[in-house]
């Protein structure tokens, strides 16, 4: 209860302080009238390699630091060579219905007995301690995501203090600028620490430099056998903090710096490791850290700030979204989050959308590591779920917004990781399964482990690489870049080769299925707790179909591997179809075991609806209805990432009002009695699983984009799922498959008013709209007929589903829509106007 009293007081104080509403009038700012009392209220900044959480505490600023390659352990593998010998036995146990025996055998002979993956680690904390600054007024803290700059301001004894912090994209250092309204008023101490002090040394160098050197932690999972050696921490790192005052002086102590009576101060923070790639840690962390600082010598603060902002805005400014603004937008961000589900605050939904894009830019840059479970922000040495890459939904969700929200460069680190896994996973496929191609299971890390971890309940899923590989093709579908496709094709081919060599016929129908496997993390209700091992799960069937179909399409485009294409074409008809069970639901398992009371967070069998395009209201309405039934049974309350997946799914189901209802469930403060399953949003707008996982933020951004534009089902569907509450709005810069860019789009009274679409590749532009359209408000449009001839808009030809006699489907009819074809050449701009 105390928390909500504080909110009332905070809002009252905000209303009493003149000028704060004006300061926060920018719709792209998160702002607060109090410091962050804990890490979940600090504000994230990052440049893809460096991450920081800024607390904004006047008397003791805490800037928690990360570097993207600072992980536990070092280069290693975690394959289990015992697997190959027992593979026929475990498959037969599953066919015989002996699931508990199969589960136990998987734990003994398949799950890794050498490594269960390495955690992402914090680089420590930088503290700036200001004596006497605990008695402050006029406090204001913001994160301006239009510029990627964090700012804190307050008043002490009539002096106005300001701090600006950013992680420079072009210069690769963290920059802090401290100013005061009167000269000689900046006096503070700078110090550093890290949770594991015995692995670090903090010292000073000269009068203005503070440094920390250390290495990553050793790691031995509690799940490993007692005699397992574990993995030695081999990542060396160095952090260098350069303090440059204007006026005053700097005094160096053994482990800290003291600044006295400066007019202003600029601080540069450089962090580097010895990581070169997942097999090589021969880099010189000291030389790198020194070079980063040397590169900014002679540059003014304004120059650094301008270069940083310019680099960032070239990415961020590609998309703008206006859903309207109400007086709620004048309140502090934490109050807005707390109120969202009970008021009308469309600007907060737009801010949440853009915050996801900000986080992706800040945590995933070309040449760096992909965003992990916490992006690039982690304050622990052993964080929840290792803050690693969970590739049975979470890592993939991180990148759903990349292409559609016009950040294709941010997709590149994931693509590079998949390419690296396609090499590392070849040995895993051969050693463990005697299979061709490459495999990855449900988890990986900086070292690109590909073996199964954490126990059979989670790790006995050999389809992680198959899901990741969908991103290789999906990125091509937006760009049409044949050179890129040629580059990633070997990884696609390798994943398909694994599928072809791992598939076996199941005993009842002879369908080719994956075994052993799971439907990620869920189990049939009648199974013993924690036992979920299976064969032929629906998600695996959907993933394999997509992998084979996309690889064949890529091979044809590139003129390669005719024999492989022939084998794929022979295999696809033998795959298992989707099945609609007795409750009118898409079956999650090969048998009709689904329970309408199952509320599990994973809805893996709906992969075929989203992010895939196998399920459509126009091509297979019975599957569409069955997917809707699944979501209805599962209900809305869920953990953070799951709630945001459901936003995407309901958008694909063309139900914007339901998607928006889930947005209200997501945008509410963690810990409220009405927070679904404890999920929601922290005051700093980061998603709560809980604890913090960043995938929910990215899922929200993707989901909102799906409500505005969809291009997966044979046409560009404009405003397919806009909720009633967003009666009017406009957006610029979203992308559709086939190289189409929605340069601008506006809707009024829920109907499309105007859209300007640029064709960068040419080809037929098929448009779907709920209201009639004209060209330039004058010319009539050609009504579409037949299959879209644009190769980027071909839809998958899946098998007819098997439908239980007990299913009792009601029949689904999609909303009435208009379908038009507009032929285009590269560079053409189409202006569509609604009637």
pLDDT tens-digit readout, 405-446: 999 999 999 999 999 999 999 999 999 999 999 999 999 999
Q: Quote the pLDDT of residue 447.
A: 98
Judge contact between 435 and 502, C-beta under 8 A. yes
Query: Closest Cα partner for 650 from 698, 702, 696?
Result: 702
Query: Closest Cα partner for 135 from 42, 59, 34?
Result: 59
Instruction: Indicate the pTM of the whole model.
Output: 0.96
Q: Quote the pLDDT of residue 577.
A: 98
Residue 223: pLDDT band with limits 50, 70, 90 = confident
For residue 204, pLDDT over 80 is answered with yes
For residue 8, pLDDT over 50 is answered with no
Q: What is the mean pLDDT of residues 325-354?
A: 96
Judge contact between 232 and 77, C-beta under 8 A. no
- 147-168 pLDDT, tens digit per residue, is 999 999 999 999 999 999 999 9
The span from the CA of 161 to the CA of 179, in Å, is 6
* 320 burial via Cβ count (<10 Å: 0-12, 13-18, 19+): middle
Among 165-179, 361-375, 628-642, 697-711, which stretch is predicted with the lowest mean pLDDT? 628-642
Altogether, the residues listed in the chain come to a count of 835
* 697 phi/psi in degrees, rounded to 5: -60, -45
Q: Quote the pLDDT of residue 136.
A: 98
Q: Quote the pLDDT of residue 678.
A: 64
The span from the CA of 384 to the CA of 369, in Å, is 19
Judge contact between 752 and 718, C-beta under 8 A. yes
Residue 227: pLDDT band with limits 50, 70, 90 = confident
Q: Quote the pLDDT of residue 671.
A: 76
- 613-655 pLDDT, tens digit per residue, is 999 999 999 999 999 999 999 999 888 899 999 999 999 999 9
- 707-735 pLDDT, tens digit per residue, is 999 999 999 999 999 999 999 999 999 99
How far the first Cα of the chain sits from its last, in Å, is 52
For residue 10, pLDDT over 90 is answered with no
> Which residues is 321 bridged to in the sheet?
731
Q: Quote the pLDDT of residue 18.
A: 36
The span from the CA of 229 to the CA of 115, in Å, is 9
Judge contact between 655 and 609, C-beta under 8 A. no
Query: What is the full DSSP assignment across 238-290?
Result: EEEEEEEEESSEEEE-SSEEEEEEESEEEEEEEEEES--BTTB----HHHHHH
Distance of CA 78 to the CA centre of its chain: 25
- 566-586 pLDDT, tens digit per residue, is 999 999 999 999 999 999 999
For residue 21, pLDDT over 60 is answered with no
Residue 343: pLDDT band with limits 50, 70, 90 = very high
Distance of CA 568 to the CA centre of its chain: 31
Residue 657: pLDDT band with limits 50, 70, 90 = very high
CA torsion angle for 430, 432, 433, 436 (degrees, to 10)? Answer: -20
Q: Quote the pLDDT of residue 207.
A: 83
∠ Cα 118 493 737 (to 5°): 90
Judge contact between 775 and 831, C-beta under 8 A. yes
For residue 374, pLDDT over 70 is answered with yes
The chain-wide mean pLDDT, for the chain, equals 95
The span from the CA of 763 to the CA of 781, in Å, is 16
């Amino acid at each position: 209860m105390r928390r909500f009293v504080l909110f009332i007081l905070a809002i009252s104080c905000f209303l009493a302080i003149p000028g704060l509403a004006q300061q926060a009038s920018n719709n792209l700012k998160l702002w607060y009238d109090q410091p962050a009392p804990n890490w979940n209220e600090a504000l994230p900044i990052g440049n893809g390699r460096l991450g920081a959480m800024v607390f904004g505490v006047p008397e003791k600023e805490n800037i928690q630091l990360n570097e993207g390659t600072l992980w536990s352990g070092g280069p290693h593998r975690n394959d289990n060579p015992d697997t190959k010998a027992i593979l026929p036995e475990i498959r037969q146990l599953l066919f015989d219905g002996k699931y508990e025996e199969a589960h136990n055998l998987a734990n003994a002979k398949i799950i890794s007995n050498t490594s269960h993956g390495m955690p992402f680690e914090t680089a420590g904390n930088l503290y700036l301690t200001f004596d006497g600054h605990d008695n402050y007024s006029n406090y204001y803290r913001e994160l301006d995501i239009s510029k990627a700059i964090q700012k804190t301001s307050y008043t002490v004894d009539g002096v106005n203090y300001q701090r600006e912090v950013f992680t420079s994209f072009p210069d690769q250092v963290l920059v802090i600028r401290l100013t005061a309204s009167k000269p000689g008023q900046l006096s503070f101490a700078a110090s550093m620490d890290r949770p594991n002090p015995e692995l670090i040394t903090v010292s000073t160098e000269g009068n203005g430099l503070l440094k920390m050197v250390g290495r990553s932690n050793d790691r031995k999972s509690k799940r490993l056998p007692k005699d397992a050696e574990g993995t030695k921490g081999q990542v060396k790192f160095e952090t260098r903090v350069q303090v440059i005052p204007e006026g005053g002086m700097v005094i160096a102590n053994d482990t800290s710096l003291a600044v006295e009576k400066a007019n202003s101060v600029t601080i540069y923070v450089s962090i580097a490791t010895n990581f070169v790639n997942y097999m090589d840690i021969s880099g010189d962390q000291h030389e790198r850290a020194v070079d980063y600082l040397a590169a900014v010598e002679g540059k003014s603060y304004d120059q650094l700030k301008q270069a940083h902002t310019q680099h960032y805005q070239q990415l961020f400014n590609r998309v703008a979204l206006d859903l309207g603004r109400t007086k709620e937008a004048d309140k502090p961000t934490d109050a807005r989050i707390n109120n969202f589900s009970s008021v009308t605050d469309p600007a907060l939904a737009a801010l949440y959308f853009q915050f996801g894009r900000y986080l992706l830019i800040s945590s995933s840059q070309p040449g760096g590591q992909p965003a992990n479970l916490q992006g690039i922000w982690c304050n622990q040495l052993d964080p929840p779920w290792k803050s690693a890459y969970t590739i049975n939904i979470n890592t993939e969700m991180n990148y759903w917004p990349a292409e559609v929200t016009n950040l294709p460069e941010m997709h590149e680190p994931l693509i590079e990781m998949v390419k690296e896994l396609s090499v590392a996973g070849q040995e895993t496929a051969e050693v463990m399964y005697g299979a061709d191609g490459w495999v990855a299971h449900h988890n990986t890390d900086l070292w690109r482990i590909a073996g199964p971890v954490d126990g059979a309940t989670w790790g006995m899923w050999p389809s992680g690489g198959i899901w990741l590989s969908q991103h290789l093709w999906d990125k091509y579908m937006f760009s049409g870049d044949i050179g890129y496709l040629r580059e990633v094709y070997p990884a696609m081919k390798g994943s398909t080769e694994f599928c072809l060599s791992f598939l076996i016929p199941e005993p009842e129908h002879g369908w080719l299925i994956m075994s052993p496997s799971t439907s990620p993390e869920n189990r049939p209700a009648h199974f013993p707790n924690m036992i979920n091992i299976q064969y032929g799960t629906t998600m695996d069937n959907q993933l394999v179909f997509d992998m084979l179909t996309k690889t064949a399409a890529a091979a044809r485009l590139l003129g390669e591997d005719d024999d492989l294409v022939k084998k794929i074409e022979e295999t696809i008809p033998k795959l298992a179809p989707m099945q609609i069970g007795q409750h009118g639901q898409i079956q999650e398992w090969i048998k009709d075991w689904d329970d309408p009371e199952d509320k599990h967070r994973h809805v893996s069998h709906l992969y075929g609806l989203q992010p895939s395009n196998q399920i459509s209201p126009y091509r297979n309405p019975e599957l569409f209805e069955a997917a809707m039934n699944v979501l209805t049974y599962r209900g809305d309350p869920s953990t953070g990432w799951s709630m945001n997946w459901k936003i995407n799914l309901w958008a694909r189901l063309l139900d914007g009002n339901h998607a928006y209802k889930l947005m209200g469930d997501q945008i509410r403060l963690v810990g409220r009695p009405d927070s679904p399953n404890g999920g929601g949003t922290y005051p700093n707008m980061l998603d709560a699983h809980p604890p913090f996982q960043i995938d929910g933020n990215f899922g929200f951004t993707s989901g909102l984009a799906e409500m505005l534009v969809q291009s997966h089902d044979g046409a560009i569907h404009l405003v397919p799922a806009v909720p009633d509450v967003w009666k009017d709005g406009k957006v610029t810069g979203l992308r559709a498959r086939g190289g189409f860019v929605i340069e601008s789009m506006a809707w009024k009274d829920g109907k499309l008013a105007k859209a300007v679409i640029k064709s960068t590749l040419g080809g037929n532009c098929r448009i779907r709209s709920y209201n009639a359209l004209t060209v330039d408000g004058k010319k009539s449009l050609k009504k579409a007929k037949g299959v879209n001839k644009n190769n980027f808009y071909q839809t998958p030809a899946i098998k007819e589903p098997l439908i239980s006699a007990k299913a009792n489907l009601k029949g689904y009819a999609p909303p009435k829509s208009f379908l038009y074809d507009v032929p285009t050449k590269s560079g053409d701009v189409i202006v569509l106007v609604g009637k």
